[in-house]
A and B are shown apart, each in its own frame.
Chain A
Amino acid sequence: MQAPSAHPARRWPLYLGVFLILILLTVIEIMVAGSGLTPPTLGIILLALSFSKAGLVAAFYMHLRDDHRLYTAIFVLPVLLLMVFAVLSVLI
């Protein structure tokens, strides 16, 4: 017997809204990439945009926002570790 769902029945407006934001962010990303911006500003903005998209999917589609914080920890900690490793792999 699993724990009863914490969600009300009508969530699809939220999902649709998130989807539209995701599409919008993707379009902005492509436009930014094609703009005249230079690194490192360019990279920072693009990373911020993609982290936002990833965050939206994780928070709303994967329900991290509604669930026990344990799941968020299990996901976020390796992501942080990965970032440390990726940066150091470039530097070392």
Chain B
Amino acid sequence: MTTYPATGTWRRYFSWNTDHKVIGVQYIVTSFVFFILAGMLAMLMRAQLRAPGSELLNAETYNQVMTNHGSLMIFLWILPVVAGFGNYLIPLMIGARDMAFPRLNALSYWLIPPAGLIMLASFFVGGAEAGWTAYVPLSIGGPPGQTLWAVSIMILGISAIMGAINFVTTVLTMRAPGMTFGRLPLFVWGMMATSLLVLSATPVLTAGLVLIALDRVVGTQFFTVASGGDPILWQNLFWFYSHPAVYIMILPAMGIVSEIFPVFARKPIFGYRMIALSSMAIAVLGLTVWAHHMFASGMDPRLRVPYMVSSMVIAVPTGIKIFSWLATIWYGKLRLSTPMLFALGFISMFLIGGLTGIFLAAIPVDLHVTDTYFVVAHLHFVLFGGSVSAVYAGLYYWFPKITGRMYDERTGRVHFVANFVGTNLAYLPMFAAGLMGMPRRVADYDPSFTSYNQMATLGGLILALSTLPFLYNVILSWARGPKAAANPWSALTLEWQTSSPPPTENFAEIPVVTTDPYAYGEESTMTGEPAAAPAAG
């Protein structure tokens, strides 16, 4: 395998560049910065909540911190970071030289820093304080920062839609010869399902945000209760996007672990077709269940049971995936490298989150625990224990490909252990607190919840500290780590069949694909024939 010189300097990451690999890194690094910021806001919250009667933050400030913690995490960390993975990997995985629309791609990245700055700026003009859900009429009357919050998310939505158009077009029209849909890596399937959701759900949120902005800035009456405005309408518009949004946040993560398990178990993936179909099923079903966030809102009672049933049905394709992953690693020859550790952690923690999601889908349970810490625990298990674990798994797994250097394995393991302990210590007690009745979004609480909160604060502290070995590892390894081979994991997908990092044009010659991407231990692989042969001429 010929090696290529590193293309360009570090400066290209700070400039307009249409190479999807540069854009992918821009997305990932930028979102990680917001992850740190949002994490600091979480630390403020946990510091305030470490004891009842704490006066670190008053109620109003707490609400602003809480709102921005959630909004930054969702809109400026998880959503863009999975788009970043998609950007970096999709062309490589399908054997293409770039995305279908490279300039649109660069534009969709460059909308993010200004949008992020606008959201941060909202803090300084009287911050948004209505929660990331911005229910009306509270969000109509609130401080000026709420308008900036709305504008920021509108811009991020447009960026996401542009990205989705690019991803889908690229996968439909730019697959290398032999890359049939049946040979598409599961991460790509996950991104296709995700993009379907981005395209169909995000514009509805944009419409709703337009209404809020118009009410606030121009004085329209959309949500003015006295004129007949209906708060439930906002909830509909908001949740029609925000429920699929959680699948936008998890489907790429599931795609990442689907890539990792076969490689680190040295076994073909179990149930490739079912995993791919389940991704699409989760996406389609996910578009229909949004009102399960509104069981306690006064929605039409006749519609509650249908939404409950459809919400529970989503557990079926999800369960299929989990069992497929387990079957993949069953009797496999496991290598417990850091990516695999995080992927295994993903399964256990996402399972807790997912199961508690089914509890919440049951209307009688939901009516009891709505707006309590039970929900906070559920969402953090799926989003932190789930998505973030998978993101870390992916960062370690593709680190050598992206940077051309190998990270330090021992430091990676330290990060994993601290992350796993911290996550469980931070969020498990919240289930109990919620069941005992502790409301969410409160700056203070009844002393009976103290022990749960102290454990959660300690867990949060461990999580914050756990980021340090990660940053240390990533920064030092990127600068001075040992050079990585083209395929340090002996993986079969196409991104590993080119150098680390890949040349600008990705492949010297477009590969011709002849086998499945997970044919580990199978005849052709054992004879040493490559899964992809360079195209002639």
| Partner-B contacts on A (CB < 8 A) | 70, 77-78, 81, 84-85, 88-89, 91-92
| Interface segment out of the listed B287-295, B311-319, B446-454 | B287-295
The 6 closest A-B pairs by CB, nearest first: A92-B299, A89-B236, A92-B300, A78-B200, A91-B300, A81-B200
B172, B236, B287: the one within 8 Å of A92 (CB): B236
A92, B204: Cβ atoms closer than 8 Å = no
B206 CB, nearest partner CB in chain A, Å? 14
A85, B172: Cβ atoms closer than 8 Å = no
A91, B288: Cβ atoms closer than 8 Å = no
Interface string of B268-307 (1 = CB under 8 A from A): 0000000000000000000110010010000110010000
B223 sits at the interface (CB 8 A): no
Contacts of B300 in A (CB 8 A): 91-92
B240 sits at the interface (CB 8 A): yes
Contacts of B287 in A (CB 8 A): 81
Closest to A84 in B: B288
Contacts of A77 in B (CB 8 A): 200
Provide a sorted-by-A list of 6 A–B residue pairs whose CB atoms are within 8 angstroms: A78-B199, A78-B200, A88-B291, A89-B236, A91-B300, A91-B303
A17 CB, nearest partner CB in chain B, Å? 33
Contacts of A88 in B (CB 8 A): 236, 291, 303
- Contacts A78-B200, A92-B291, A92-B294; A85 near B240 (Cβ below 8 A): yes
| A77 to B300 CA separation, bound complex (whole angstroms) | 26
Contacts of A81 in B (CB 8 A): 200, 287
Q: Among residues 233 to 287 in chain B, which have CB atoms less than 8 Å away from a CB atom of chain A? A: 233, 236-237, 240, 287
Contacts of A89 in B (CB 8 A): 233, 236-237
Closest to B297 in A: A92
| A77 to B199 CA separation, bound complex (whole angstroms) | 11
| A91 to B204 CA separation, bound complex (whole angstroms) | 17
- 7 A-B pairs besides A78-B200, A92-B303 with CB distance below 8 A are A81-B200, A84-B288, A85-B204, A88-B291, A89-B233, A89-B236, A92-B299
Number of interface residues of B (CB under 8 A): 16
B232 sits at the interface (CB 8 A): yes
A4 CB, nearest partner CB in chain B, Å? 17
Q: Classify the secondary structure of B's interface with A.
A: helix
B117 CB, nearest partner CB in chain A, Å? 32
| A81 to B288 CA separation, bound complex (whole angstroms) | 9
Q: Classify the secondary structure of A's interface with B.
A: helix
| A91 to B299 CA separation, bound complex (whole angstroms) | 9
Contacts of B236 in A (CB 8 A): 88-89, 92
A78 CB, nearest partner CB in chain B, Å? 6
Q: Among residues 78 to 109 in chain B, which have CB atoms less than 8 Å away from a CB atom of chain A? A: none
Contacts of A78 in B (CB 8 A): 199-200
Contacts of A91 in B (CB 8 A): 300, 303
Counting chain B CB atoms within 10 Å of each CB, the highest count among A81, A88, A89, A92 belongs to: A92
Closest to B201 in A: A81
Contacts of A85 in B (CB 8 A): 204, 240
| A85 to B199 CA separation, bound complex (whole angstroms) | 15
| A7 to B232 CA separation, bound complex (whole angstroms) | 49
Contacts of B237 in A (CB 8 A): 89
| A88 to B292 CA separation, bound complex (whole angstroms) | 13
A66 CB, nearest partner CB in chain B, Å? 19
Contacts of B240 in A (CB 8 A): 85
Q: Among residues 115 to 144 in chain B, which have CB atoms less than 8 Å away from a CB atom of chain A? A: none
- Contacts A85-B240, A89-B233, A92-B232; A70 near B303 (Cβ below 8 A): no
Contacts of A92 in B (CB 8 A): 232, 236, 291, 294, 299-300, 303
Contacts of B291 in A (CB 8 A): 88, 92
Closest to B232 in A: A92
Closest to A81 in B: B200
| A13 to B303 CA separation, bound complex (whole angstroms) | 49
| A59 to B518 CA separation, bound complex (whole angstroms) | 42
Closest to B172 in A: A70
B296 CB, nearest partner CB in chain A, Å? 13
| A70 to B171 CA separation, bound complex (whole angstroms) | 13
Contacts of A84 in B (CB 8 A): 288
B341 CB, nearest partner CB in chain A, Å? 39
Closest to B233 in A: A89
A46 CB, nearest partner CB in chain B, Å? 24
B105 CB, nearest partner CB in chain A, Å? 20
| A88 to B300 CA separation, bound complex (whole angstroms) | 10
Contacts of B232 in A (CB 8 A): 92
Contacts of A70 in B (CB 8 A): 172
| A84 to B307 CA separation, bound complex (whole angstroms) | 13
B294 CB, nearest partner CB in chain A, Å? 7
B301 CB, nearest partner CB in chain A, Å? 10
